[in-house]
A and B are shown apart, each in its own frame.
Chain A
Amino acid sequence: MTAIITASTASSVASHPGRILHPGRTSAPAQALEPLSFWGGVDLTGAVVDVHHPAHGTGLSGWVVVMPASRGSSSGSSVLVELIRLGTAPAGFVLSEADAIITTACLVAAELYSIDLPVVLVAEAELARIAAADSVEIAADRD
């Protein structure tokens, strides 16, 4: 169950191995973030509305979010499923912790709406390198 994460900048392309938390495929611009609470932290358009978060005002819809983990209320799962239903969710996640809130949301969205948002786990050092990328491609296929 190994995922391949391909991180690209203007001058380089590098591949990183990851563990699959939820399968799927995507290729999208990358947005590195501090840990974020979806409940109370993101509105239904996918924009960060937590005024204390450094990315306040940033739209996440369609981006690959690169962050250690989410934080805050377990209701974050409900909010993320709602974003997936509305088509305003991020395109995928690269994390360095096995985040139950994001993973559960993706499992539920796959059941309800047959949408697979890839979620992959990498080592902390890899996360820092991927966070510097302009765009990220995730290939997370279950055998």
Chain B
Amino acid sequence: MALNLNPEEARMLEGADGPAVALAMRIIVGLAEAKGASRLIDVTSAHIDSCLFHGQSGIDLARRLVDLGGTCRIPTTTNIGSVDLLHPELIRADDEAAAQAKRDGRELMELYARLGVAQTWTCAPYQHRPRPGFGEHVAWAESNAIVFVNSVLGARTDRYGDFLDICAALTGKAPASGLHLESNRRARIHLDVSMVTNSGDHIFALLGYLTGTIAGSAVPVLGGFSDPESITEDELKALGAAAASSGGVALFHVVGRTPEAPTLAEVCDPGSVPVVTLTDDDLKRAQAELTHGTGDVDAICLGTPHASLPELRALAGELRKSPGHALTRPIFINTGRITLAELDAHHPGDRAVLAEFGVTIVTDTCTYLTPVLDPAVRTVMTNSGKWAHYAPANLGLGVVFGSLRECVAEALR
């Protein structure tokens, strides 16, 4: 099947909109041909993950695009970078290599800023308006942002490699393949949660971890929730982020909650997809698998993905229950700079509680991959399935998984 470009796309490829657009089109067309796409589609927004520093080549591409006059032609947000630009002193530079990585990380973020992005520096851009509507095609990167925009908002993005995000932002185009296509959005496996009786804010991260290990990169549908309409966006965020970490899940459906699954029959042929029943024992196993190491907890890390306003307020609420107590272990919480500004503007009392207890608020980056924690920290407690999945390898740390309430209790113990 050959790739057909419309006249506008052909002109962009030939350079009519400048050399940066032509370069970006060569990459999009090359990928579309490799994927066997028959056409490109127009995308209405992009979310960039390539602004996180992985090496000199990332800087080389961003600088090339800046030098060629590139500028985003659709609304484009940025994922986290390697530096907290609002609180750069939080990022440790204990040796020359770390100091160089911090300089490189900042340079890359500055180059992306020059390409005309909205500097959101958050992995949870969906926590801010405007956001993509149902059925809208977008080009979003970063696994948790991808799974949220596909599953919870019902917009459509595929999983791409790094760099395709900025190419889509410069052109407004993406290959018509993968999850952009209706037929690839049907569920291939059915997870029945009707036997699960446990409750609590941490259940969704555990369900997400199990979903990823069972589904791999297939599209799962979760059914059997007793009150699906009451499931919050924060709970779906935790589920998706964990499923995209333990597996390659880029889209999930929840019957009666997510927009493509008003009923089970809408997203699959219930008689022909395999069914896996999840139980409280499975949740217990998931919690054990997300816990690595046996040492005492030295620090608490929350906000992976970036905490929402309700999550920041819930932390303040938990701390408020123990007036006069002091933290015996530091609490770090990652959030977006826009969310933090909202907390300051509308809930100064909650911000004051966080400050009073000495909670460290990290913006623009994330504690699971940037050196924020003291090198003496050996074991961390988190309520994030994603943090628990990646940190042992990224940071060489032990992890204990628990609910927000358990994390706060540990910090005050």
- B386 to A: closest C-beta gap in Å: 12
B143 contact set on A, CB distance < 8 A: 73-74
Docked-complex contact A112 and B160, CB < 8 angstroms:
no
Tell which of B33, B36, B158, B162 touches A75, judged by Cβ atoms closer than 8 Å.
Answer: B162
Chain B: which residue is nearest A78 at the CB level? B54
**Dominant SS among interface residues on chain B:** helix
Docked-complex contact A107 and B31, CB < 8 angstroms:
yes
Docked-complex contact B31 and A100, CB < 8 angstroms:
yes
B56 contact set on A, CB distance < 8 A: 82, 85
* A22-B30, A75-B49, A78-B50 known; A104+B161 contact, CB < 8 A: yes
Give me the interface of B with A, judged by CB distance under 8 Å. 23, 26-27, 30-31, 33-36, 49-50, 52, 54-58, 60-61, 64, 141-143, 158-164, 248, 393-394
Docked-complex contact A78 and B55, CB < 8 angstroms:
yes
CA gap between A112 and B97 in the complex, in Å: 25
Docked-complex contact A98 and B57, CB < 8 angstroms:
no
- B84 to A: closest C-beta gap in Å: 20
- A140 to B: closest C-beta gap in Å: 12
Docked-complex contact B161 and A77, CB < 8 angstroms:
yes
A-B CB contacts (within 8 Å), total count:
99
Docked-complex contact B161 and A82, CB < 8 angstroms:
no
* A78-B57, A82-B55, A112-B57 known; A100+B34 contact, CB < 8 A: yes
* A85-B57, A107-B26, A108-B57 known; A74+B31 contact, CB < 8 A: no
**Dominant SS among interface residues on chain A:** helix
B393 contact set on A, CB distance < 8 A: 40
CA gap between A73 and B161 in the complex, in Å: 8
* A71-B248, A74-B141, A78-B50 known; A104+B26 contact, CB < 8 A: no
Docked-complex contact B55 and A100, CB < 8 angstroms:
no
* A100-B31, A107-B31 known; A77+B162 contact, CB < 8 A: yes
B64 contact set on A, CB distance < 8 A: 111-112
Docked-complex contact A104 and B36, CB < 8 angstroms:
no
Docked-complex contact A103 and B163, CB < 8 angstroms:
no
The 5 closest A-B pairs by CB, nearest first: A77-B161, A104-B161, A82-B55, A78-B54, A101-B161
Tell which of A72, A78, A84, A100 touches B160, judged by Cβ atoms closer than 8 Å.
Answer: A100
Any B CB within 8 A of the CB of A32: no
Q: Pick the most buried of B52, B55, B56: most chain A CB atoms within 10 A of its CB.
A: B55
CA gap between A85 and B35 in the complex, in Å: 25
Docked-complex contact A81 and B23, CB < 8 angstroms:
no
The contact string, 1 if C-beta is below 8 Å from chain B, for chain A 34-54, is 000001100010000000000
B159 contact set on A, CB distance < 8 A: 74, 100
Q: Pick the most buried of B54, B56, B248: most chain A CB atoms within 10 A of its CB.
A: B54
Interface residues of A in 66-118 (CB under 8 A from B): 71-79, 81-82, 84-85, 98, 100-105, 107-109, 111-112
Tell which of A22, A81, A104, A112 touches B164, judged by Cβ atoms closer than 8 Å.
Answer: A104
Docked-complex contact B30 and A107, CB < 8 angstroms:
yes
Tell which of B58, B158, B248 touches A78, judged by Cβ atoms closer than 8 Å.
Answer: B58
CA gap between A45 and B64 in the complex, in Å: 25
B61 contact set on A, CB distance < 8 A: 81, 108, 111-112
Any B CB within 8 A of the CB of A138: no
Docked-complex contact A105 and B55, CB < 8 angstroms:
no
- A84 to B: closest C-beta gap in Å: 8
* A100-B160, A108-B27 known; A74+B49 contact, CB < 8 A: yes
Docked-complex contact B161 and A76, CB < 8 angstroms:
yes
B31 contact set on A, CB distance < 8 A: 100, 103-104, 107
CA gap between A85 and B49 in the complex, in Å: 20
New A-B pairs, 13, CB < 8 Å, besides A74-B142, A81-B58: A44-B55, A72-B248, A75-B49, A76-B162, A78-B50, A82-B57, A85-B55, A85-B56, A100-B34, A100-B160, A105-B163, A107-B31, A109-B57
Chain B: which residue is nearest A100 at the CB level? B161
Chain A: which residue is nearest B58 at the CB level? A78
Docked-complex contact B162 and A82, CB < 8 angstroms:
no
Docked-complex contact B27 and A111, CB < 8 angstroms:
yes
B57 contact set on A, CB distance < 8 A: 78, 81-82, 84-85, 108-109, 112
Chain B: which residue is nearest A104 at the CB level? B161
CA gap between A140 and B385 in the complex, in Å: 43
